[in-house]
Amino acid sequence: MQLNSSLDRVLFGDNQFFGVNHASDEKSRAQAMRFKDDQSIIRVLDQAIDLGVRTFMCTTHDRIANICDHIRTHPDRYRYFKVLPCMPYAHKYANAVTELGIMGTINQYVPGSIFGTFAKGGMAMVQGNYSKLMQILIDAEMKMFAGIDTPVIFIQNVLVDMILGLGMYDVFRDYDDYIRKRYGAEPGYITMNMPDLVDALESVGIYNPIICSSINKAGFRMSGGIERNERYLREKTFRPIAMQVLAAGTLRPKEAFAYLAQFPRIESVLFGSSSKQHIAENIELIESTSMVAQEV
């Protein structure tokens, strides 16, 4: 079990497949139409692999289960392919909470319902044991990745940032321990509040964590201000992954990726695209950024 193995420089994301676009609702609907069937997703994924991508970072969207099936049934094609799950797919739960309430949502998503799962203690068991509840939910989300190499397992920003805001840092500790113990994987954290999260994780003894956050020249979604974010990138010990480098597609790729070069600690860059040409261009720009970074 090698926990501190390095990440690939390029991480390929999945927002484009599921109609997530932070700059245009209209584009997001067009994407949803284009990627209606799983084959169209697999086609783009295969193009990315041919262009050198080795890691797919994806949500636990229901349709990812089908992609995982495809990966499992073609072991030769995906021999060295890694998948980094990001859980949970938040809209699934958010819509359920609006409709069913929190208890109703847990009942719907905990396998076998809460009473079956906690047969002996029932509700009393749940109330005293949130760690166990979290473990059950993680296991349910991770089922689709069985047999696939998942060296890092992320919690999505909406959950990370909520726990962070509420100051319930011990939950991070529980998550961290469980991911290492049960999956032999490195826990990862996606956030829109990177500086605060770095401090929070350190306060519960989580050192050198993998943190994926918005890092872009425009300061978009770099909460707490771009200066503080930049200072943490220079001075703090953690393993940064840059996302939203293009500020939702509003920055030109060349200047956008060049901005990252001043932060040599950035291990990986996450991007998603559905165009073969854009994928190729982005990979080239990211790779050249890393060379500059090493010279620095």
Partner 1 sequence: MNTLRAAIVGLGKMGLSHAAILTAQPQVDMVAVCDTSVIVTSAFKKYGKAKVYGDFRKMLRNENLDLVVIATPTKLHYDMVRAALEHGVHVFCEKPFSLNSAEGQELVQLAESKGLVNQLGYHNHFIGTFREMKRLLENGVIGELVHFSGEAYGPVVTKEKVGTWRSKSSEGGGCLFDYASHVLNLLQEVVGRPVKINGSLLKQIYSKGVEDAVYTLLTLENGLTGTLLVNWSDETYRKMSTSLTVQGKNGKIVCDATEIKIYLKQANAAEGLEAGWTVKWITDLAIPVGYYLRGEEYSAQIEYFVANVRRQQPGTINTFEQGLYTDKVIEMIQNAA
Q: Which residues would be at the binding site for partner 1 (CB under 8 A)? A: 18-26, 28-29, 32, 91, 94-95, 97-104, 106, 123, 126-128, 130, 158, 161-168, 170-171, 192-193, 196, 218-221, 223-225, 247-248, 250
Q: How far is the CB of 171 from partner 1 (least distance, A)?
A: 6
Shortest gap between Cβ of 142 and partner 1 (angstroms)? Answer: 22
Nearer to partner 1, 7 or 106 (CB): 106
Supply the minimum distance, in Å, between the C-beta of residue 158 and partner 1. Answer: 6
Rounded least distance, CB 125 to partner 1, Å: 11
Residue with Cβ nearer partner 1 (191 or 282): 191
Residue number, 149 or 202, with CB nearest to partner 1: 202
- In whole angstroms, the minimum distance from the beta carbon of 131 to partner 1 comes to 10
Residue 18 or 183: the one with the smaller Cβ distance to partner 1 is 18
- Nearest CB to partner 1, comparing residues 22 and 236: 22
CB of 236 to partner 1, least distance (A): 18
Dihedral sign from CA coordinates of 114, 118, 122, 123? negative
Nearer to partner 1, 78 or 93 (CB): 93
Please enumerate in sequence order all residues whose Cβ is within 8 A of that of 77, keeping only pairs 6 or more positions apart, or say none. 46, 49
Helix 226-235 × helix 194-203 angle, to 10°: 50
